Structures are given as structure tokens and as C-alpha cells.
Amino acid sequence: MRYSALQILKQGLTGNRRWERAWRKPDPKPSYDIIIIGGGGHGLATAYYLAAVHGQSNVAVLERGYFGGGNVGRNTTIVRANYGLPGNSEFYSHSLKLWEGLEQELNFNVMHSQRGVINLFHSDGQRDAAARRGNAMINQGDDAILLDRGDCRQMLPYLDFDQTRFPIYGGLYHPRGGTARHDAVAWGFARGADQRGVDLIDNCEVTGIDIQNGHVTGVQTTRGAIRAKKIGIVVAGNSSRVAAMAGMRLPIESHVLQAFVTEGLKPVIDHVVTYGMGHFYISQSDKGGLVFGGDLDFYPSYASRGNLPMVEHVMEAGMTLMPMLGKARLLRSWGGIMDMSPDGSPIIDRTGIRGLYLNCGWCYGGFKAVPGSGNCFAHLMATDRPHDAAARYKLSRFETGFGLMDEEGTGAQHNLH
């Protein structure tokens, strides 16, 4: 069923009784050409592009829980391409271009809203760094505008510009950045993959990966054994656990990152605003809630919930940036499990086992990468060659030290990002 305004009218007039389910609910077949482990944003996008771009329809996505129930349903929905380093720069640029055509391509309203992202800076040195990053973004073909203090006052009148600790000097404005409806992205890719013949199998936990003579042959699951020629691991915070089934140890630590939303308010924040010095960023959802977050709790965790000291820290940072925040009441908080890599950049690569591919290390920035990651991972799995935009996301870069992408410049070791 194609979604359109006319369809809404037609269904509305007939009591909304004839909507079809968005995707089938098939039982697993005994074998597939390709199995994707993980039915989150990245896994569903991979399946979609395998079918849509590479004509691979004998594909299954295996999901332990329900589709879109992982980090794609637990993030702060920001979409941007404001990276500076070669490797990241071209990848996120590629991903943003896919975002811009996503709704038409998927025939699904993902509510992609290019409301602009503003990264604030608070010193002359930070202004120089922002100008340099902006130039890198422009050289990549994306957009960046350096705002001075007056521009920021006009666009963001609610900030406390004269706070003594981090007075606001200006910001780097990325107009094509913005937000999207997180769940809809998962649903749109799921529906698109299903329409092209991909089997989406939920409540199906992978319990083992079968390997013979250094080549994958299939998986063991809670719904029986399934054979496959190629297998992709796309499980974010659970990457180490699944890779261990194939005897691998990864350069990954799983950490909890918390996020928060207030009660719904009238429109008050028009952009995505980031306040790096306070480890704080905020935007307003289309429902009106102020969505914001901060830094990791910084200890490894699989608990999907954090501790109160970080809650307090985020609220304090928010209050120093925009004191009006104190008038809003917090509605919910939650945590997601981040697959943190040593240099803060992701991995899209083959493994030492033939037919086994790995997509992980998205740290706390996986949402904006969903289309790009799926697109590039599908390319790698279908052709056995890396996509140009993701060619630098190599697993071997930690071992060799060649091609590390430490965007923050803090070092390429665990605990530093």
C-alpha cells in the first residue's frame, strides 16, 4: 500500500479499517543468502539497501526483541554532517544526502526537519577551531556559517550570553542539520525492506554463529538454526557479545548515555543547540518536548539506565546555558547502550572470518549515520569491497595505528571519548 494524502482521506472515510500492516511477520526459512543480526536502524537500513540497490532479496534480519527497540528508539534524533576529519567528513556528508531524499525513497514520513544545528563556542581559540571545522565542511560540499555573538543573540535570544564561566562568543551554524522522527526511520526502512522481499524476523535471538574452515555457514537462534552464506553483525551496544560467538574480541566498550525530555511546550527552541563546554545539547521535538542530553556516565554498562549524578550534571549544564529551562518539568529520562570505539569513530569492515562482516563503534552518534551506514554496509556485504564513503572505517586501524580518526583530538584509547 502506497502512503499518500489521498490514501489518508480514503482510509479515513472508511473508518480506518483497511490499513494494511506495514510489514509481514514471516517465520524463518531454513537458509538465506544474507543474514543481518540486529533489527535496529542500521540493520534495517542495511537490509533495505541490499534489496533496493544490490538486488539481494534473499535476506533476513534477525532481531532479539522488536524492530526499532534498541538505540534507534532511544536517541535524541539529531541529523548532521559537521565532521572535520577525512573519513568521517565524506561519510556523514554521504549520509546527510541520503537523509535528504529518504522520505521520497521510502514513501514514509520520517519527519526529517532541517532546522539547523548550532555549535556554540566560548573563547577565541574555540572560534578559530569552529572556523576551521566550518571550512572543512564547506570543502566537503556541505554548509557552514560562522555566527558572531550578535547573530546568536538574534537566533537564540533565550540563552544566557553573559554567564561568567562560559560566555557565548558565537556559534558554528550548519543549516542542513536538524532532527528526524527516530522510530519512523526504523519503520520506514523496515517497510521498504519487507516490500522488496526481505524477511524481518523478530523475537529471534542469535545464540551462536556457525563457522566451518574459517567461513560462516549460519546461525543458531532461539527459533532454530538458519543457514547463510554471509552474515552481518549490526548490534550496537551488544557488539562484543555477538562477536564473541564467533570467537572475536572487539576494540569496543559498552557505555550508558542518558537523555531527557520535558513535558510538551509551545515552540520555543527552533534549532538544535549544542553546548560542548557544558556537555549539553538540546532541541524541541514536534510534540513540543524539550529533548536534551549530556555526556556518558563513563563506566561500562549494559543496563540501559544511568545514575543520578549525571542527571544532576546535565540539568546544571542546561540551567547555565538557558535558565528558562528551570520552568519546564522533566517528563522522562532513559539510557541507551553505546558501542564506544577507542578513537570515537565507527567500524564498517570485513572480519578475519570469511563471510562475516562487522558494523559497530558508532559511539554516541549512530542515529544520523543510519542511512549512510546501511548504504555502505550493504555495499560491502554485496560486493565484498568497501564503499568509497566508508573506506576508512577499518577494524585494523587500532592494531596498526594507521588511519585512526580521533575527531575530538583526545587520543585513541578507551575512556577518552
Q: What is the closest distance, in whole angstroms, from the C-beta atom of residue 404 to other proteins in the complex? A: 11
Q: How far is CA 147 from the centre of its chain?
A: 27
Residue 344 contacts other proteins per CB under 8 A: no
* Options 109, 298, 326, 331; binder of other proteins; rule CB under 8 A: 298
Residue 413 contacts other proteins per CB under 8 A: yes
Other Cβ atoms less than 10 A from the Cβ of 263: the count is 13
Residue pair 208/219 in contact by the 8 Å Cβ criterion = yes
Segment interacting with other proteins (CB under 8 A) among 10-18, 27-35, 249-257, 317-325: 249-257
* Options 249, 266, 327, 329; binder of other proteins; rule CB under 8 A: 249
Residue 257 contacts other proteins per CB under 8 A: no
Whole-number Å distance between alpha carbons of 339 and 246: 18
Q: What is the closest distance, in whole angstroms, from the C-beta atom of residue 71 to other proteins in the complex? A: 16
Q: Give the residue carrying C-alpha cell 576529519.
A: 85
Residue 208 contacts other proteins per CB under 8 A: no
Q: How many residues does the chain have?
A: 417
> Helix, strand, or coil here: 351?
coil
Segment interacting with other proteins (CB under 8 A) among 93-101, 128-136, 300-308, 315-323: 300-308
Whole-number Å distance between alpha carbons of 318 and 50: 42
> Helix, strand, or coil here: 407?
coil
Whole-number Å distance between alpha carbons of 173 and 146: 6
Segment interacting with other proteins (CB under 8 A) among 138-146, 202-210, 251-259, 376-384: 251-259
Window 136 to 195, contacts with other proteins (CB under 8 A): none
Residue 253 contacts other proteins per CB under 8 A: yes
* Options 58, 113, 333, 415; binder of other proteins; rule CB under 8 A: 415
Residue 366 contacts other proteins per CB under 8 A: no
Whole-number Å distance between alpha carbons of 319 and 390: 38
Residue pair 284/260 in contact by the 8 Å Cβ criterion = no
Q: For helices 41-52 and 182-195, what crossing angle results, to 10°?
A: 30
Residue 268 contacts other proteins per CB under 8 A: no
Grid coordinates representing 195 are 516490500
* Options 50, 106, 204, 252; binder of other proteins; rule CB under 8 A: 252
Residue 342 contacts other proteins per CB under 8 A: yes
Residue 279 contacts other proteins per CB under 8 A: no
Q: What is the closest distance, in whole angstroms, from the C-beta atom of residue 411 to other proteins in the complex? A: 11
| Dmax (CA) of the chain | 65
Helix (H) / strand (E) element for 334: namely: strand 330-340
What are residue 286's phi and psi, to 5 degrees? Answer: -65, -20
Segment interacting with other proteins (CB under 8 A) among 67-75, 117-125, 221-229, 408-416: 408-416
Nearest-5° angle of CA 159, CA 162, CA 165? 100
Segment interacting with other proteins (CB under 8 A) among 56-64, 235-243, 346-354, 369-377: 235-243
Can you give the binding site for other proteins, defined by CB under 8 A? 238, 240-241, 249-254, 298-303, 307, 309, 342, 398-399, 413-415
